[in-house]
Structures are given as structure tokens and as C-alpha cells.
A and B are shown apart, each in its own frame.
Chain A
Amino acid sequence: AAGVIQSPRHLIKEKRETATLKCYPIPRHDTVYWYQQGPGQDPQFLISFYEKMQSDKGSIPDRFSAQQFSDYHSELNMSSLELGDSALYFCASSLTTSGVGSTDTQYFGPGTRLTVL
């Protein structure tokens, strides 16, 4: 079965640079979530999209933005990178019918490991 695809898998950037992470949800899943997981930390919710509209916002810095496109893939754009942005960035997808959570099960992609030097 198809899973969530993320690219790139690894990314090394320098401070103040920008980065774009991509996520392709499981086919027919309509909701995408982005999480940040620092070393030794639990995943922290950043932002989510339902049917291409932003649905929730968590602890996402103003330097970050995201969107979901017509084909349901999502991109997380990160600017003015800081050392503290080094983390694993996970995308997860779920199927939410009728705008109400018919299932809360989220399936996670393999993650993008971002290292900021």
C-alpha cells in the first residue's frame, strides 16, 4: 500500500538560508499535518491542512509557512534558518470525511532530517 512520501530525506543548510520540504499524502487522504521532532523530543504539531485549506496552527514560527496544493501534496517553507531548526520534520496524512474527524489515525512519512550549520 502506498505510504506518505517526503522529500528530501536529508537536508543540510546554513544559517539564514531557506529550505522547502515536500510531502505527498497517502492517495485519497484529505488532511495533511506537519510535525517537528527535535533530538530526544516528542513530535510537536506545526500546522495542518484539510482539503487544501489551513485547518489548525500549532507552534509554527512566523519564519515558516506551508500550503497544500490542488494535488494534495504539501510544502513547508522555512526561511532565515536558525541552528535550533535542526530537527526531524514529519508529515502525516489522514482521511477526514465531511469535515469531522471520522478517523484520527494519522500515518507518518519517513521524515526529513534538517541540519542547520
Chain B
Amino acid sequence: EDKVVQSPLSLVVHEGDTVTLNCSYEVTNFRSLLWYKQEKKAPTFLFMLTSSGIEKKSGRLSSILDKKELFSILNITATQTGDSAIYLCAVPDEGSQGNLIFGKGTKLSVKP
């Protein structure tokens, strides 16, 4: 069974739109949830969330975690074509040293 589920799988928007990406997870001993942006190459780190209700923000991107409902959202406001990428959500595998379990990702396409 999938421990990390992302939705939607794909999203096409126009520049200037605001998008919300969803990630739900299921692990017994939750430690953290991470968001990565993957363009053509390596995933680049965006946020690590450990506490519920505390928004992390970086420019037009923000993310928040709900540990009660077991999900996180990633918001991008005023989208730009450079935001086009696959956004990956991951949680450390329970009982491991920290290897990450990734969701399938959300492919975001921002049209001019």
C-alpha cells in the first residue's frame, strides 16, 4: 500500500494562478514530511515540516502540515512558468535511518 499519496497527479494552470498541491501520508512514527521540486534533474529541497499548523514560507511558496489529519499542502501563489516541475512529497520510512518514501508527485505545468 502507498504510504504517501499526492494529488492531483497533474495540473495545468496559467501564469498568475494560485495552486494547492496535496500530500497525505501514513506512517506509524511520524518524524517529518519533506517537499521537493524536481525539474529535469535532481529533486531540490523546498521544506521540511515537523509541527502541525506552523506555516513554512519561501517567497511565493508555502506549506503547512496537519498531523491530526495526516496531510500537508503546498501552495504556490502568482505562479510563473519557472514553477513548472514535478513536486514530490516524502516522509522518512518508519524504523529506518531516514530513507525517504516518495509520493508519485504532482506534475505542474504553468502556461504563459
Contacts and interface: CB of A to CB of B under 8 A. Distances in A.
Given A42-B103, A104-B48, A110 B97 contact: no
Contacts of B41: 110-111
Given A43-B43, A110-B42, A111-B42, A101 B31 contact: yes
Given A42-B103, A42-B104, A106 B44 contact: no
A101 B103 CA distance: 21
Contact of B102 (A43, A50, A96, A101): A43
17 contacts: A31-B97, A33-B99, A42-B105, A44-B102, A45-B93, A45-B101, A50-B97, A55-B97, A56-B97, A96-B97, A96-B98, A101-B98, A105-B48, A106-B98, A108-B42, A108-B43, A111-B42
A45 B103 contact: no
Contacts of B54: none
Interface of B: 31-32, 34, 36, 41-45, 48, 88, 92-93, 96-105
Most interface-central of B31, B34, B42, B93 (chain A CB within 10 A): B42
